[in-house]
Each structure stands twice: as C-alpha cells, then as structure tokens.
Amino acid sequence: MAARGCTRCAELAATRTSVVFGAGNADAELMFVGEAPGANEDLQGLPFVGAAGKLLEQLLGEIGLSRSEVFIANVLKCRPPGNRDPQSGEIDNCRPYLIRQIELIEPRVICTLGNFATKLLRGDPAGITRVHGAPEVRTIGEHTVRVYPLFHPAAALYTPSTLETLREDFARLPAVLALPALPAPPRPPAETIPIVEVEPQTPQRPPAPGSDGGQLGLF
C-alpha cells in the first residue's frame, strides 16, 4: 500500500509512529471521515481508538449499529505534531488516498466529522455549525454519495450542548441510510476521431520539357 511509505509531507513522515490508513468493513454502506490521527491512533495504527472513538461507538450503538459494520478513516493519514490542525498542503497531499478509499468502498453515506472533513468532501468553505445534520448529494472521484456532516465527537466530549446536537443528528442517520440508492455519475464520452472525406483527385500529367513548370525551364 503506497500510503504506508508515503513521504509527501516531510514533517509528518518524520514524526509519525505509523500511518493510520483506516479500518472497518470494506463493503460498508456507512463511512465516517474524521480529521487526523491523535496520539493513541498513531501508536496503535487505528483510527478513533481514544475517548472520541468510544463516544462514536456509543452513538452507533444507540442507532443499532456497531463499529464492525462501518468504515472509519481520516482526512490525514498521519498525526500532525502536537495534534495541531492539518495544513492545506497536507490535506492536498493526502486527498488522493481518501478519494481512492471512497471509490473502493462505495459507501451510500459518508458522515464527515468536523470542519476539515466537511469542507473537503463538500467542496465548500461553510463551517460545520451551518451545515451539520443536512444530507447532501456529492460526486467524489467516480462515486456519487450522500454526505452527512456531523460535529466531531472530540468537540462533544466536554460540551453538553454539542453532544446533544450530535446525538440528535445521529438519530436521523438511519433515515438517511434508508434513502434510495444514488445513480452512478455519468462517464464522459469516449474521445472520437472525426472522419474527413477526401475527394479523389485526377492525376496530372508531368509538364513537358522546357515548359515553365518543368525541371528544364529557365524562365
């Protein structure tokens, strides 16, 4: 897997313990995309294994789902030093890995957790406070999917009001999953080479010696 030896981001490659590519059901209908690995994720090589991960599992259980039924990934596959925010260049470098994951897994719904994942996969700068809990149809790579923005579980750990909002949005998730499947995006037409008809030409006789057009003509 190319991501395991990735050095596109020199700082992240030098400071990471492991590449946290993602984990879960490769045929999942539901996919979660967070921000970046934290300290626990970096050590274990798995996403969402800390306190935010426990809350995510609890919220899944409340709607009758388990972690084994979904796929979980992050925008960045390596932990930023000190858990700082992802930088724009790092997001650009990691984006192809995430897009390829989505194309391979083909989920029906992607829950974007927090601002970074939401802005990236919606292709819009609107923040999570404005768009959470509202599913939208997006074409990502070669896959059309419903994007369902949610607050990041880490933001809800110590803020009761955010946790209440996150739980309410989670409660609507089964209805989003039950929506009809989306058609595949149209493929661009294959390039065609136009056929140009050429009229046949009547062969011309070579000019007589000494004429203006002949090799021996002097004037």
* pLDDT, average across residues 71-95: 97
What residues does each domain of the chain span?
A: 26-177
Q: What's this model's pTM, rounded to 2 decimal places?
A: 0.84
Residue 156 confidence (pLDDT) above 80: yes
- Name the amino acid, one letter, at 90: E
- Average pLDDT estimate for 46-74: 98
- Amino acid identity, residue 104? L
For 17, half-sphere exposure in the C-beta direction (CA atoms, 13 angstrom radius) is 10
Range from 91-95, 153-157, 184-188, 198-202 carrying the lowest mean pLDDT: 198-202
Does the structure show a pLDDT above 50 at 198?
no
Position 218 scores a pLDDT of 31
78: confidence class by pLDDT, cuts 50, 70, 90: very high
Interatomic CA distance for residues 75 and 33, integer angstroms: 7
Q: How far apart are CA 52 and CA 162, in angstroms?
A: 13
pLDDT score at 199 = 54
Q: What integer pLDDT is reported at residue 191 of this predicted model?
A: 58
From CA 26, how far away is CA 102, in angstroms rounded? 10
Percent of the chain at pLDDT > 90 equals 80
What average pLDDT does range 20-27 have in this prediction?
Answer: 96
**pLDDT value at 211 more than 50:** no
Nearest to 120 by CA among 140, 137, 142, 135: 140
Q: What's domain 26-177's superfamily in CATH?
A: Uracil-DNA glycosylase-like domain (3.40.470.10)
Q: What is the pLDDT of residue 200?
A: 52
In the predicted model, what is the mean pLDDT of residues 68-79?
98
Angle at 183 between CA 177 and CA 188, to 5 degrees: 145
| Mean local confidence (pLDDT), 96-100 | 97
Note the pLDDT of residue 212: 47
| pLDDT band at 190; cut points 50, 70, 90 | low
